[in-house]
Structure 1
Amino acid sequence: MVDFQMTHAAANLGLQVVAVALEDVNNKDYTPYLHALRKVKLAQAVAAYQGCDLDSDPHIGGYRRLKASMARSWKRFPVSVENLIGTLRRNGDIPLISPVVDIYNLMSLERRISIGAHDIDRLEGDVRLDITRGVERFAPLGAEELARAPAGEFAYLDDADRVLCRMDCRQSRETCLQPSSRRILLIVQGHADMAAESVRAAANSCIDLILTYCGGDCTQRFECLHE
Structure 2
Amino acid sequence: MLTVRPSIDPAITAIAPQFRALSIVVEAAPIANAAIGQEALTAACLAVSPETPAWAEAHLAAWSEVFKSFGAKPKRTPCSAEALRKRVLRDGTMPAIDPVVDLYNAISIKYAIPVGGENIAAYKGEPRLTVAEGTELFDTVKEGEVVDESVDHGEVIWRDDKGVTCRRWNWRQGVRTRLDSTASQMWFILESLPAMPEEALYAAGDELIEGLQRMMPGAKIEKQLLSIA
TM bucket normalised to smaller: 0.7 to 0.9
Distance 1:139 1:35 in 2: 28
Offset at 1:41?
2.9
SS in 1 for 2:7: strand
After the TM superposition, which residues 52-63 of structure 1 pair with which residues of structure 2 at under 5 Å, given as runs?
Answer: 57-63=57-63
- Write the letter of the residue equivalent to 1:112: A
Partner residue in 1 for 2:65: 65
Distance 2:32 2:167 in 1: 26
The number of residue pairs the alignment matches comes to 219
Quick check: 1:27–1:181 contact (8 Å CA) kept in 2?
Answer: no
- Write the letter of the residue equivalent to 1:4: P
Are the structure 2 counterparts of residues 29 and 148 from structure 1 closer, same or farther at C-alpha, using a change threshold of 3 Å? Answer: farther
- Write the letter of the residue equivalent to 2:160: D
After the TM superposition, which residues 83-102 of structure 1 pair with which residues of structure 2 at under 5 Å, given as runs?
Answer: 83-102=83-102
Alignment counterpart, residue 144 of structure 1, candidates 136, 143, 146: 146
Partner residue in 1 for 2:173: 171
Quick check: 2:138–2:151 contact (8 Å CA) kept in 1?
Answer: yes
Alignment counterpart, residue 185 of structure 1, candidates 184, 187, 201: 187
Of all paired residues, the percent bearing the same amino acid is: 22
Greater displacement, 200-209 / 57-66: 200-209
Q: Name the Cα RMSD after superposition.
A: 2.5
Instruction: For residues 23-81 of structure 1, give each alpha carbon's deviation from its aligned partner in whole angstroms, at most 9, with x where no partner exists.
Output: 124469623x5544443332112xx24x88xxx91011011111111122101210111
Partner residue in 1 for 2:122: 122
Are the structure 2 counterparts of residues 26 and 98 from structure 1 closer, same or farther at C-alpha, using a change threshold of 3 Å? Answer: farther
- Write the letter of the residue equivalent to 1:152: G
Alignment counterpart, residue 28 of structure 2, candidates 24, 29, 32: 24
Alignment counterpart, residue 10 of structure 2, candidates 4, 8, 11: 8
Offset at 1:183?
0.8
**In the alignment, structure 1 residue 218 sits paired with structure 2 residue 221:** yes
Distance 1:203 1:186 in 2: 9
Quick check: 1:129–1:155 contact (8 Å CA) kept in 2?
Answer: yes
SS in 2 for 1:212: helix
Offset at 1:153?
1.1
Partner residue in 2 for 1:40: 43
Offset at 1:108?
0.6
SS in 1 for 2:175: coil
Instruction: For residues 64-123 of structure 1, give each alpha carbon's deviation from its aligned partner in whole angstroms, at most 9, with x where no partner exists.
Output: 111111122101210111111122123211131111111111111111000011101111
